[in-house]
Amino acid sequence: MDGFPPLLPLRPVSNCALVVAPHADDEVLGCGGALALHAQHGDKTRVLVLTALEGSARLEESCRAGALLGVGDVQGLGFADGEVSRTHDLVKTLRRAFEASGADLFYLPAPTEAHPDHRAASLASAAAVAGIEGARVLFYGINRAPNSNRLLDVSSVADTKDEALGCFASQQARLGEWSQHVDLAAGAEVDLEGVERVESFVDMPAVQASPFCVQVVRLLQSLPDVTLSAAPDSNSSGPRVSAVISTWNKAADLADNLSGLRAQTRPFDEIVVVDNASSDDTAKRILSDYPEVRLIVMPHDKYGACETFNLGFSSASGELIAILDDDVVLTPGWLEGALGRLNQEPESTAVISTKIVEPGMPEAYKNSVAINTERYMSTFRGCASLARKADIAAAGYYDTRLFIYGNERDLTCRLLNLGKRVLQYPGVEAFHQTPFGLQMGKRSLFYHARNAWLSMLKYAPLKDLLAMPWLVLTKVLLRGKSQEDEGAVTDAVGTIGIGRSLRETPGAFWVLVRASFSVLWNLPYCLRHRVPVRHSDFELPLK
Provide the pLDDT for residue 9: 87
Q: How far is Cα 419 from Cα 289, in angstroms, rounded to an integer? A: 42
Provide the pLDDT for residue 143: 77
Q: Taking 70 as the threshold, does the pLDDT of residue 226 lie above it?
A: no
Mean pLDDT of 449-476: 89
Element (H, E) at 242: strand 241-247
Provide the pLDDT for residue 7: 81
* Domain covering 17-222 in this structure, CATH number: 3.40.50.10320
Q: How far is Cα 201 from Cα 31, in angstroms, rounded to an integer? A: 9
Average pLDDT, rounded, for the chain: 89
By mean pLDDT, which of 137-141, 168-172, 245-249, 402-406 is the weakest? 168-172
Mean pLDDT of 6-26: 92
Which segment, 7-11, 166-170, 322-326, is predicted with the most confidence on average?
322-326
Element (H, E) at 48: strand 45-49
Q: What confidence tier does 478 reach under pLDDT thresholds 50, 70, 90?
A: low
pLDDT digits (tens, 9 = 90+) for 481-532: 666 556 556 555 656 666 677 777 898 889 999 999 999 999 999 999 999 9
| CA-based nearest residue to 457, from 533, 508, 405 | 533
Q: Which residues are within 8 A (CB) of 416 and not within 5 positions of it... i.e. 6 or more apart?
A: 378, 533, 535, 537, 538
Q: Taking 90 as the threshold, does the pLDDT of residue 173 lie above it?
A: no
Cβ proximity of 88 and 263 under 8 Å: no
Q: Taking 80 as the threshold, does the pLDDT of residue 172 lie above it?
A: no
Torsion of CA 186, 192, 193, 197, to 10 degrees: -10
Mean pLDDT of 150-177: 84
Cβ proximity of 425 and 374 under 8 Å: yes
Element (H, E) at 393: helix 389-394
Percent of the chain with pLDDT over 70: 87
> Which segments within 389-438 are labelled E, that is strand?
421-432
Cβ proximity of 192 and 7 under 8 Å: yes
By mean pLDDT, which of 222-236, 322-336, 401-415, 506-520 is the weakest? 222-236
| CA-based nearest residue to 151, from 270, 3, 42 | 3
Q: What confidence tier does 1 reach under pLDDT thresholds 50, 70, 90?
A: very low
Q: How far is Cα 330 from Cα 323, in angstroms, rounded to an integer? A: 12
Q: What confidence tier does 80 reach under pLDDT thresholds 50, 70, 90?
A: confident
pLDDT digits (tens, 9 = 90+) for 96-106: 999 999 999 99
Task: Please state the domain extents for the chain.
Answer: 17-222, 439-536
Cβ proximity of 91 and 230 under 8 Å: no
| CA-based nearest residue to 129, from 147, 151, 145, 107 | 107
Element (H, E) at 245: strand 241-247
Q: What confidence tier does 234 reach under pLDDT thresholds 50, 70, 90?
A: low
Mean pLDDT of 411-430: 98
Compute the C-alpha angle 44/163/182, nearest 5°: 90
Percent of the chain with pLDDT over 90: 67
